[in-house]
């Protein structure tokens, strides 16, 4: 029987890991010193600090004691620990999807704001089912029909975050190439463009397009997603999908760099109204 894949990290688990790293640094302790003084296995401590493992309560208490955490910090992190395993968003078939993708789905489901730049595709949260199926078949030509169906289903289910009571705030910027490329044919693209125009009318969705006439711009290096979360204490996250693998970036330097890049793209893109005009023109010409 194949080994069961561990669940991907949740936002709470990432927050717990970040706070434990910060407390250890504030106590001027190395991981080796923590291991010597607590008896906690070094590999276990590494996995806890990388949000790859949820610490048991007694382990967390030992760390908080060593780090001289305040009563308020103890109460907060114990509450985070007790809910860090919650993955109500996970579907049974998600175990068949790549681990990084299921982690991304989880973070997106818990996010407050998603800022997404796409150079070649319509953003996943804005894709129609027909467009999503054509994209997945094109990008993964060797995928089986079952694999394609699972990915399409996951992509459409993700969009529920835009329809919940407190919807996700989505700011999506696309290069004009994303709306001009005939993915799936003219009818599929006409339906997709109409859907984008409908989304653009939603108060929690902002869509911008960078026209070809802009020339070279910062987004030409590739697509990315920046997320923040309802609790200000939960660390922000940048997700980059590369041919070499998916990356989750969370250092302050990386977050600042991608936030600055997104602000630059906002400035060079057409405004929301002009972007809607361009999409309407594409729809008519399609």
Confidence grade of residue 51 (pLDDT, cut at 50, 70, 90): confident
Last residue of one domain, picked from the residues 60, 83, 106? 83
Task: Provide the pLDDT for residue 85.
Answer: 52
Confidence grade of residue 68 (pLDDT, cut at 50, 70, 90): very high
Range of the domain at 52: 11-83
125 close to 158: Cβ distance less than 8 angstroms: yes
Percent residues over pLDDT 70 in the chain:
90
Instruction: Look up tokens 């982690």; give the residue.
Output: 103
Lowest-confidence segment of 156-170, 200-214, 216-230, 231-245 by average pLDDT: 231-245
Question: Total structural domains in the chain?
Answer: 2
Q: What is the pTM of this model?
A: 0.74
- Token pair for 44: 């276990």
Claim to verify: residue 148 and residue 274 sit in the same structural domain: yes
Claim to verify: residue 110 and residue 237 sit in the same structural domain: yes
Question: For the domain that residue 21 is a member of, what is the CATH number?
Answer: 1.10.260.40
Question: Does residue 1 fall inside a structural domain?
Answer: no
45 against 250, higher pLDDT? 45
Write the CA distances from 276 to 110, 174, 208, 219, 270, integer angstroms: 28, 12, 8, 20, 9
Task: Provide the pLDDT for residue 83.
Answer: 62
Question: Does residue 3 fall inside a structural domain?
Answer: no
Claim to verify: residue 27 and residue 160 sit in the same structural domain: no
Task: Provide the pLDDT for residue 286.
Answer: 66
Rg (the chain; Cα; Å)? 21
Q: pLDDT of 119-150, one tens digit each?
A: 999 999 999 999 999 999 999 999 999 999 99
Claim to verify: residue 71 and residue 109 sit in the same structural domain: no
Claim to verify: residue 77 and residue 114 sit in the same structural domain: no
Task: Provide the pLDDT for residue 110.
Answer: 82
Claim to verify: residue 31 and residue 126 sit in the same structural domain: no
Question: Does residue 88 fall inside a structural domain?
Answer: no
Task: Provide the pLDDT for residue 235.
Answer: 81
94 close to 151: Cβ distance less than 8 angstroms: no
């Amino acid at each position: 029987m194949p080994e069961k894949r561990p669940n991907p990290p949740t936002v709470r688990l990432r927050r717990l890991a970040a706070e434990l790293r910060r407390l250890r640094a504030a106590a001027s302790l190395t991981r080796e010193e923590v291991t010597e003084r607590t008896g906690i296995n070094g590999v276990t401590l590494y996995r806890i600090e990388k949000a790859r493992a949820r610490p048991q309560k007694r382990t967390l208490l030992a760390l908080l004691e060593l780090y001289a955490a305040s009563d308020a910090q103890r109460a907060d992190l114990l509450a985070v620990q007790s809910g860090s395993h919650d993955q109500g968003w996970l579907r049974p078939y998600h175990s068949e999807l790549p681990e990084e993708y299921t982690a991304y789905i989880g973070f997106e489901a818990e996010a407050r704001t998603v800022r997404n730049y796409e150079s070649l595709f319509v953003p996943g949260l804005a894709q129609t089912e027909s467009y999503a199926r054509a994209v997945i078949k094109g990008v993964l030509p060797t995928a089986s029909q079952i694999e394609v169906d699972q990915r399409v289903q996951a992509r459409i289910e993700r969009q529920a975050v835009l329809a919940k009571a407190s919807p996700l705030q989505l700011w999506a910027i696309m290069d004009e190439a994303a709306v001009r490329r005939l993915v799936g044919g003219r009818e599929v693209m006409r339906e997709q463009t109409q859907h984008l125009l409908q989304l653009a009318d939603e108060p929690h969705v902002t869509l911008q397009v960078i026209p070809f006439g802009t020339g070279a711009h910062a987004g030409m290096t590739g697509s990315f997603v920046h997320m923040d979360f309802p609790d200000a204490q939960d660390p922000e996250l940048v997700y980059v999908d590369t041919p070499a693998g998916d990356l989750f970036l969370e250092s302050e330097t990386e977050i600042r760099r991608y936030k600055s890049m997104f602000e630059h793209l906002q400035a060079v893109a057409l405004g929301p109204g002009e972007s809607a005009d361009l999409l309407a023109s594409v729809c008519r010409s399609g």
